[in-house]
Amino acid sequence: MQSFKEALDDLLTDLAWSLWTELGVAGVERRHARHSVDPESLIIFTADLGDTDPRLRDESMDWCIRYDSFISEVRLRNLLKTQDEVTKKAFGEYAATINANGSARWPVPSGSAPFSFTPSGKSVVDFSRPAVLRLRMRALFGVGARAELLTAFLGEPAASRSASELTVVGYAKRNIAQVLSELHSAGLLQARPIQNRIHYRLARVDALRALAEPLPDFFLDWSMLLTFAAAARHLAMRPMDTSWRVSAVAVNQLLMHFETTLASFDEPVPKSQPSTRDYWENASDWILRFFRGLSSERTPSSARSTSP
Amino acid sequence: MRVMKSIEPLEEAIGTLGAVLADRGLHYELAAIGGGSLMLVGLIKRPTKDVDIVAVIHEGKYQRADPLPQPLVQAVQEVAATLGLASDWLNAGPTDLLRFGLPEGFARRVEIRSYDGLTLHIAGRIDQIHLKFYAAVDQGPKSKHYSDLIALRPTRDELLASARWTLSQDSSPGFKESLKGALEALGVKDAEL
C-alpha cells in the first residue's frame, strides 16, 4: 500500500506533467486544456518536486531554456517570497541550472549550484491552445504586470478590483497601480473610486477577448494551489517516526492557512475531530482527493473559476 | 466547542500538545489543578473543557503562569483547532492562587505525568481538596467546585485543614461566614478555626 507521501507525489507529478504538457513540454497526457496555466508558479513547483521525477524536471528545464523570454524574473522573485525555505533552496538549484544552460538570469540564492543537465530540445509551444493564454498575452503586451493584469481581468471580466487586490498576480502594488492607470488612460479599463481606493474593471471586454482568444474556461489561482501542493508535500516528507498527533496538528494548520483558496472549491475541508488519528486520516484522504481532482480532467472547482 | 466528557479526549489533547511541543524542541513543566487534572488522575468523572494551570515550573520553582509562554499558547491553540476545543482549553486562570501561596508541601505531593514535551505536576488529592474548598466557598454551594469537592470524599480533618488554609487566602469577615456555612453544609459542625 502506498504511503501518503508516495500517493501525493504521484498525483502532484501527474498534475505538473499535464500542466507542462499544455505549455509544450514533451509529455503524453494533457488534462488541463481548459485551464489557464501559470508558468512561473509551475516552474517554482517543479523545482520543488526536484528528483521526484527527473524526466519531468529535465523536460521542464528544456522548456524554460527555450522559452525563457516568456518568463518574468520579477514575478519569479515575487512569488518566491511566499515560499518556504525548502522550496527556495530547490528553486535555487533549478534556476542556477537554467542560467548555466542559456541566457536566462533568474534569481539564484547564494550557495545554489547548477547540476548536470543536457536540454532535450523537444519543447514546442502551441500558441493556439487556450491553456497558454498567459504566453499569448505576454507575446501581445510584453512580459510584465500589464499582461498579468489583463489576463486576470479576462478571468473575471465583470469584477471590479483595486491595485491592492490585484497584487495576487505577482507584481508590486506600485507597479500594478501604474499599469492600471495607464490602461485606464488607454480606455481599456473603467475606474471608479470606492472609499479611498480606485477600483478598475474591464471596459472593452469583447475587444480584449478577440485579441486573446482562444480563452480557457478556468482561471484557477495556481500560485496559491501549487504553494499549497508544495506545503502538503513538505508535510508528507516529515520523518516516518513523526506521530500522527503532530501530523494531524500540522495538516490542520496547513488547511487553515490555505482556507481562502480552498473555499473556492466545492468539497469542504475536514472539520476538527476529537481524535487526532481520525483527523489525520480524514485530512490526508481529503488532500489526496483534492489533488486527484485537480490533476485529473475533472476539475474540483465544479466549473467555478477564480482569478488570476 | 467541545466539552471533554471522559478522560480519553483530555488525554488526547494533552498527549497531542506534548507531542507537538516535543516536535518543536520545546518542553514545559506546568502545575495543574482543577477539574481537568482531577479527571486525569481519576478522582472525578464530570465533563470538563479545560486544564487549569496554576504555575509554570522553572528549575523546580513555581512561577506565575500568566501569561503562559507564547510558544505554548500557540501550540495549545493549534491543538484546539485540530480537536475542536476552546482556544484556551489549557489556561492560567487560577495562577493568582500563587499570590498568597499554595498549601504547604504542595510540590511534594504532586503526581507527575510526562507527555513528551509537556510535564504536568498534578495537584495531590489533599491539595485539590484545599483548592476545591476555597473555590466552593468563593462560588457557592451550587457551583461545580462543590460537587467536585464532594466527589473527593474529604474527611472532617481534611475539610478543617482546607478551611484554615482557605482563610489564609481571604480573611475578610464575610468570607469567614461563608466558609463556616460551607463547612456546615459538608457536615462539619462547630468548627474551631
Same domain? For B37 and B93 the reply is yes
Interface check for B14 against chain A (CB to CB < 8 A): the answer is no
Distance between CA atoms of residues A137 and A150, nearest Å: 8
Give the range among A127-136, B72-81, B142-151 with minimum mean pLDDT.
B142-151
- What does the domain layout of chain A look like in residue ranges? 4-127, 130-212, 225-295
pLDDT of residue B7: 65
pLDDT band at B138 (very low <50, low <70, confident <90, very high): confident
pLDDT of residue A299: 61
Q: What percent of chain A has pLDDT over 90?
A: 87
Size of the A and B interface in Cβ pairs below 8 Å: 46
Please check whether residue B192 lies inside any domain of the structure: no
pLDDT band at A308 (very low <50, low <70, confident <90, very high): very low
Distance (Å) from the C-alpha of residue B1 to the closest C-alpha of chain A?
10
ipTM above 0.90, yes or no: no
Minimal Cβ distance to B20: which of A246, A271, A275: A246
Domain A130-212: which CATH class? mainly alpha
pLDDT in tens, A202-250: 999 999 999 999 999 999 999 999 999 999 999 999 876 778 899 999 9
Please check whether residue B33 lies inside any domain of the structure: yes
Same domain? For B103 and B131 the reply is no
For A161, the 3-state DSSP assignment is strand
CB spacing of B84 vs A249 below 8 angstroms: no
The yes-or-no verdict on residue A295 having pLDDT over 80 is yes
CB spacing of B20 vs A271 below 8 angstroms: no
The yes-or-no verdict on residue A302 having pLDDT over 70 is no
pLDDT band at B2 (very low <50, low <70, confident <90, very high): low
What value does the mean pLDDT take over residues B117-143? Answer: 92
Minimal Cβ distance to B82: which of A242, A243, A249: A249
What value does the mean pLDDT take over residues B116-120? Answer: 97
The answer to whether B187 and B157 are in contact (CB under 8 A) is no
pLDDT in tens, A17-35: 999 999 999 999 999 999 9
Number of structural domains found in chain B: 2
Interface check for B167 against chain A (CB to CB < 8 A): the answer is no
To which H or E segment does residue A133 belong? helix A133-141
Domain holding B51, by residue range, is 7-123
DSSP conformation letters of chain B: ---B-SHHHHHHHHHHHHHHHHHTT--EEEEEEHHHHHHHTTS----B--EEEEEEEETTEEEE-SSPPHHHHHHHHHHHHHHT--TTSEE-GGGGGGTT-PPTTHHHHPEEEEETTEEEEEPPHHHHHHHHHHHHHHH-TTSHHHHHHHHT---HHHHHHHHHHHHHH---HHHHHHHHHHHHHTT--S---
pLDDT of residue A265: 85
Distance (Å) from the C-alpha of residue B25 to the closest C-alpha of chain A?
13
Please check whether residue B74 lies inside any domain of the structure: yes
* Residues from chain B contacting residue A275 (CB–CB below 8 Å): 12, 83
Residue, of B1 and B27, whose pLDDT is higher: B27
Residue, of B173 and A272, whose pLDDT is higher: A272
Same domain? For B71 and B154 the reply is no
The yes-or-no verdict on residue B113 having pLDDT over 90 is yes
The yes-or-no verdict on residue A300 having pLDDT over 60 is no
pLDDT of residue B177: 87
Give the range among A76-85, A116-125, B9-18, B168-177 with minimum mean pLDDT.
B168-177
The yes-or-no verdict on residue A103 having pLDDT over 80 is yes
pLDDT of residue B172: 87
pLDDT of residue A306: 45
Q: Which of B3, B82, B115 to mutate to test the interface with A (most CBs of A within 10 A)?
A: B82
pLDDT of residue B48: 78
Q: Which of residues 267-286 of A touch B (CB under 8 A)?
A: 271-276, 279
The yes-or-no verdict on residue A303 having pLDDT over 90 is no
The yes-or-no verdict on residue A57 having pLDDT over 80 is yes
- Residue after which a domain boundary falls, among B81, B100, B123: B123
Same domain? For B115 and B146 the reply is no
pLDDT of residue A169: 96
pLDDT of residue B6: 60
Same domain? For B136 and B151 the reply is yes
